[in-house]
Each structure stands twice: as structure tokens, then as C-alpha cells.
Amino acid sequence: MVQQLGYLKETPSQTAGPYVHIGLTPNFCGIAGVYQTDLGSRMVNDETRGERITITGRVIDGAGAPLKDALVEIWQADAAGLYNSPTEIRGAADPNFSGWGRCATGAEDGVFSFETVKPARVPYSHDRQMAPHITFWIVARGINVGLHTRMYFPDEQEANAADPLLARIEHRHRVATLVATGSAPNYVFDIHLQGEKETVFLDI
Amino acid sequence: MSDRTNGKPETGAFFARDRAWHAPALTPGYKTSVLRSPQKALLSLDGTISEITGPVFGHSLIGELDNDLIHNFAKPGESAIGERIIVHGRVLDERGRAVPGVLLEFWQANAGGRYRHKKESYLAPLDPNFGGCGRTITDEEGGYAFRTIKPGPYPWPNGVNDWRPAHIHFSVFGHGFAQRLITQMYFEGDPMIWKCPIVNTIPDRQAVEQLIAPLDWANTIPFDARAYKFDIVLRGRRSTLFENRLEGN
């Protein structure tokens, strides 16, 4: 016999289901008066530092149809490369930037959109940097465990070429699935759940 | 604070997620997963600063009735119809430590099994005094509580005669975005749990049991509301003692 580690098991994930909006974006689905605004609907204000950008996109299923009942969250560093988080120990992030956003995909067109700022590079280790990127997390009916992925920028080719995560992608043609299209200030990032263009999802 | 070591915030990466404990992406018994499940292998790598960090929310976010679904949508002086219950518990990490400051958001059907949503078509009636959403933030011991009515089961289009057992959806923010979790809580003693294709996406029976809240008789309030206890476990964080530090060792 040895000592017991005594660790607990993580609570298993379950799908967010078709009515995720009731809980996470109630105003979006017509439940008014419980919360003043939907959390995460605004990431910037007039004082936010950095280059303003918009990101729009869709989450597309294996039949090519955009999901109209998905919920997308993003998390990113500010224009100086700092995260607005207690775990950020390198300095204080811009107090006028939340770094986190939440958007339901449109009930008619399946489009999500975020108004944010372009993040700067952040460190991977003490001597390596990651290219500017935005973390995406996608939940929906039919998705059992929330999907993590990242969006990189098409106008950061040099930084992308040196990015440690992108370097780990074995099949090099799939790197493009993590790079937005469009150009500043309007980027487009479509997420493909299946098929030839399947986005690289992360176990991270 | 429980999340700190010698006064410094913990910044270690998170324990790898045990993918065998969770549902796989493709679970044909739950039909919607067939076209929405990634088919290629996930790219596995240790967490970076982008996942070790995460948004936190202050207690000032929470309104007085946010954790009271019986009243937060009801007309003044009225309340939602149904079995009055209290759901409470703690948010812990895999090391068994309390996780304070966790934003919990929850949503559910009304007592008749009907959701307040335009895409919902079940014939059971809406309750004019029930919206179905609430939220709270865990205290220093990781504890939380909210008041609601017990949701009803409802039929859904999957198999010819599939019904969801009574359940409450939970969304959970830990201290790092890698801990982000959405799950569902079920009620002790419900025979429908084991018939549900969504429950059965989880391969391990013990993992399913982790989602079933027991009736908590000790915390039941006489002549008011029964209590159910639901603890939530988030991914643990590695000790940073021997980690490569971003600012250099």
C-alpha cells in the first residue's frame, strides 16, 4: 500500500443545450428585467487603449450549415499584451478593457461579432513569445465538451511563423484554420466543426 | 486565501483534462452531436498564459434577487409556481481546495418542464412569474446557494420518445480560462436519469453520479424549501515551485 493522492475528479461537462441563452444571454432571448445587460456584451469603452478591431464569424457544422444556437466566448490580452486577470503577474492590464467577451450566434444568420482591440504578443516561456491571438470557446446543443481554439491574425505572418502553438500543428495546411481572413480593422473567423476545413481544436 | 501561496497568486498550469471521464465529442445516441463533433484529434499541449489566466467577476455584479429564481422574474408580491428548493454546495478544484470568487450562472425549465425561449414548443404552459435564469459568486470557502423551483422533465426531439430528466444547467468560471465548464445537475432518485441520451453520452457511471445532487435533509428549511447539495470540481492547478517562470527563473 502507498499513500493516497486524494485528488478529486473534475465535474463532467454536459452540453449547453438549445436554451443556453436563457442562462447566459437572457436579454438576447427576450428575458428582460432580470439582468441589466448581458454579461460580456461589451469589452471596450471610450478610454480603451489600442487598435480597435471587429471580429465576425460563424460556427459551421458538418453539413455546411451555420449554428444558430451556439454561444461563443473570447479571452485575450490587451494592447500591451497583459491579461485582465488576478493571475497576471507581469503588470496591470488596461482597466478599460475586460479582455473577455460573450456572443450568441444570430438566430437568423448564425453570425457572431465582437468589438475589441488587437492584442499584443504574450510570452510562451521566459525566452519565447506567442503571436498575437485570441482564445475562443464554443458551446452549443450537440457539443458535449466546450471547444477551445485560437484565432491568429493574417497580417502577422512573421510572428505566426514563430508561434510555438502553430508550430505544433503536424499537418501544415491546417494552420490556416486558426488564422482569420479579412484585414484590419475587420477580421472574419469562421469555425468549422467538421470536414476538410475542420478547425484545429485544443486540448489545453 | 486558498488560491495563494505565500501571498502570491498561483500561476501554475492546470492538470490535464481526463478526456475519458468526459463524454466523447461523437455520441450518436445524442443525434445532434453527429454533425457537430470534431472528427480530428485535438491538439494537446500544456497550458500557456492564455489559458492560465481568466476573467473574474466582482460580487458587485450580483443583484439582490439574482440567486432567487422564485422571485427574480415574478411580479411584485407573487412567486413562481412549483416545488420550492434550495440548491447549494461548494466549488472545489481537483486538489480539494475551495475556489472562491467563481461566477456561477444557472438556467432551467419551469415546474412543468417548459423553457422561456422562442424556439421551445412543448405544450406545457409558461409560468408568468418564472424566467429561468440566475447567478451567484462563491464565497471564500467556495460556497454558494440559490433558491428556485424544481424544474419538470420534458420531451425532446431525438428518439421517438426521449425525455430529459429534471435538471439545472450550470456555467462555471474558475480562475483560469482552462477551467471553463458547462454542465447539468440532476436530482437524486430520478429514474429518468439513466434513460437520457444526453446523460448517457458520459461513458463512466461514476462520472454521471457526480452530476446527481442528493437531497440534503439537514439543510431543508421546515415549512419552506427542501435542499439539494451539488458540489462542483474544477481542474486543479500545478504547484509553481519548479515551473519555468515567465519573468525568468
pLDDT tier for residue B248 given thresholds of 50, 70 and 90: very low
Give the closest-approach CA distance of A182 to chain B in angstroms: 24
Name the residue in chain B with its Cα closest to that of A125: B246
Q: What pLDDT is recorded for position B242?
A: 60
pLDDT in tens, A55-73: 999 999 999 999 999 999 9
Q: Which candidate from A7, A84, A145 shows the least CB-CB separation from B94?
A: A7
> How far B23 CA sits from the closest chain A CA (Å)?
6
Cβ contacts of B52 on chain A, cutoff 8 Å: 87
Confidence bin at B7 (pLDDT 50/70/90): low
Q: Which residues pair with residue A71 across a beta bridge?
A: A104, A139
pLDDT at A14: 98
**Nearest alpha carbon to residue B9 among B96, B99, B139:** B99
> 0.90 cut: is pTM over it?
yes
Q: Is the peptide bond before B165 cis (omega within 30 degrees of 0)?
A: no
Please answer yes or no on whether A144 and B131 come within 8 Å at the CB atom. no
pLDDT in tens, A130-168: 999 999 999 999 999 999 999 999 999 999 999 999 999
CB contact set of B205 (below 8 Å; sequence gap of 6+)? none
Instruction: Tell me the chain A residues in contact with residue B233 when contact means C-beta distances shorter than 8 Å.
Output: 8-11
CB pairs under 8 A between A and B: 282
DSSP A136-199: EEEE-TT-SSPEEEEEE-TT-HHHHHT-HHHHT-SSGGGGGGGB-EEETTEEE--EESSSTTPP
Share of chain A above pLDDT 90, in %: 97
pLDDT of B5 higher than 80 = no
**Structure ipTM:** 0.97
For B157, residues 6+ apart whose C-beta sits below 8 A from its C-beta are: none
Whether A84 has its CB under 8 Å from any CB of chain B: the answer is yes
Q: Find the CB nearest B53 among A62, A87, A198.
A: A87
How does DSSP classify residue B91?
Answer: E
Which residues of A are less than 8 Å from B117 in CB distance? 18-19, 21-22, 29
The structural domains of chain B, ordered by start, are 4-234 (2.60.130.10)
Those of residues 187-226 in B touching chain A at CB distance below 8 A are 198-199, 201-202, 206-208, 210-211
Confidence of residue B246 (pLDDT cuts 50, 70, 90): low
pLDDT score recorded for residue B34: 98
Q: CA nearest A69 in B: which residue? A: B119
Helix or strand holding residue B49 (H, E): helix B49-52
C-beta separation of A102 from A123 below 8 A: no
**Class of domain A37-192 as given by CATH:** mainly beta
CB B131 within 8 A of CB A34: yes
- Which residue among the candidates B30, B144, B154, B186 is catalytic per the annotation? B154
pLDDT tens string B181-218: 999 999 999 999 999 999 999 999 999 999 999 999 99
Look at residue B149 and give its three-state secondary structure. strand
What does the DSSP 8-state code read for residue A66? B
